[in-house]
């Protein structure tokens, strides 16, 4: 089967938008307390990424609240067309984050679900205003650290070259891809590379990888080859789904750069463990 990856990638390139950036809100930048949304992948597979993210926020002088009632954002059901089921899951998140403080999310994908799709999911319902209010105070982690807090980490690590993969959600849905590069650029001893065709999808896309495995695998293979060609010993991203997909693909190719969520990398560089 000849998979026209270039055709799929052209769709992703043409869908670029930054229309869902959160406008600068002085009240949010002055808040000394935030909610933290843990995400399913961090909860189940990458807990150290979540802990690192919360430690970085604390390092920046922010008190972190982690509501125990939070669950999934509802994205898998929503992307699969199960709107009623997604709304049921999402309703629980509306209740979990009631106070008018920022909600920081260490995943552009989940942040995009809150910010972009919750208003659509609840449009015309009694919860529409509540969904919009939540969407207006959701921030992806690097966006909040770099652009809202102007966080300036002190790099205590040795010289390091790494390759950055920005997820489609960060690049297209939220328009915050530059925040990750900005944050890494504040680490004095870190050199950040981007692979060729950096704007192209890694092929994961949640349920897309299950529904279209051949297309997904071909896209992941192209992305993995571009990452390996940089020669960087470390791959970082702000989305664990991308990291999981790329780590697996690189491993199958016999090319094994280390992978880390950007929060883990920044915490390790600034605290030595």
pLDDT-wise least confident of 39-53, 140-154, 182-196, 236-250: 236-250
**End-to-end alpha carbon distance in the chain:** 46
In a domain, 3, yes or no: no
Q: Would you say residue 219 has pLDDT above 90?
A: no
pLDDT tens readout for residues 160-216: 999 999 999 999 999 999 999 999 999 999 999 999 988 888 778 777 777 777 888
The DSSP code for 45 is: T
- Do 141 and 193 have their domain in common? no
- Count of other CB atoms within 10 angstroms of residue 157: 15
Shared domain check, 30 and 113: yes
Q: pTM of the entire structure?
A: 0.87
Q: Are residues 166 and 228 in the same domain?
A: yes
139 and 48 within one domain: yes
Are 136 and 157 in a shared domain? no
Cβ count within 10 A of residue 161: 13
| Domain count within the chain | 2
- CATH number of the domain enclosing 104: 3.40.50
Helix (H) or strand (E) holding 65: strand 63-65
Which ranges constitute the DSSP H helices of the chain?
A: 5-14, 26-30, 40-44, 47-59, 75-79, 83-96, 108-112, 118-121, 128-135, 141-143, 168, 177-185, 208-211, 213-229, 240-252, 262-271
- pLDDT over threshold 50, residue 15: no
Domain endpoint, select from 94, 118, 147:
147
pLDDT over 80 at 2, yes or no = no
User: What's phi and psi for 259, nearest 5 deg?
Assistant: -125, 145
pLDDT at res. 207: 78
Is 135 in the same domain as 107? yes
What is the domain extent for residue 76? Answer: 22-147
The 8-class DSSP code of residue 172 comes to I
Torsion sign over Cα 142, 54, 157, 150: positive
The residue among 98, 114, 147 that closes a domain is: 147
Which of 28-32, 74-78, 120-124 shows the lowest mean pLDDT across its residues?
28-32
Q: Which residues pair with 191 in a beta bridge?
A: 161
């Amino acid at each position: 089967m000849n998979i026209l990856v270039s055709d799929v990638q052209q769709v992703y390139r043409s869908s670029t938008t930054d229309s869902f950036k959160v406008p600068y809100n002085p009240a949010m930048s002055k808040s000394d307390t935030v909610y933290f949304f843990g995400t399913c992948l961090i909860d189940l597979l990458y807990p150290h990424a979540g802990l690192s993210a919360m430690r970085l926020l604390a390092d920046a002088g922010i008190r972190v609240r982690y509501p125990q009632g939070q669950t999934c954002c509802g994205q898998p059901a929503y992307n699969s067309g199960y709107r009623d089921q997604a709304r049921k899951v999402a309703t629980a998140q509306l209740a979990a984050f009631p106070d008018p403080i920022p909600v920081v999310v260490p995943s552009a994908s989940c942040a995009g679900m809150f910010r972009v799709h919750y208003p659509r999911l609840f449009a015309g319902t009694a919860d529409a205003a509540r969904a919009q209010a939540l969407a207006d105070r959701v921030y992806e982690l690097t966006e909040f650290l770099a652009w809202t807090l102007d966080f300036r980490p002190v790099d205590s690590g040795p010289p390091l070259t790494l390759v950055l993969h920005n997820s489609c959600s960060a690049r297209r849905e939220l328009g915050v891809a530059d925040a990750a590069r900005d944050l890494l650029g504040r680490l004095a001893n870190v050199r950040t590379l981007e692979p060729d065709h950096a704007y192209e999808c890694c092929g994961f896309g949640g349920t897309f990888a299950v529904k279209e495995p051949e297309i997904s695998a071909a896209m992941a293979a192209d992305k993995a080859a571009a990452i390996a060609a940089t020669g960087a010993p470390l791959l970082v991203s702000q989305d664990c789904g991308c990291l999981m997909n790329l780590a697996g693909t690189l491993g199958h190719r016999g090319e094994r750069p280390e992978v880390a969520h950007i929060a883990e990398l920044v915490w390790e560089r600034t605290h030595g463990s």
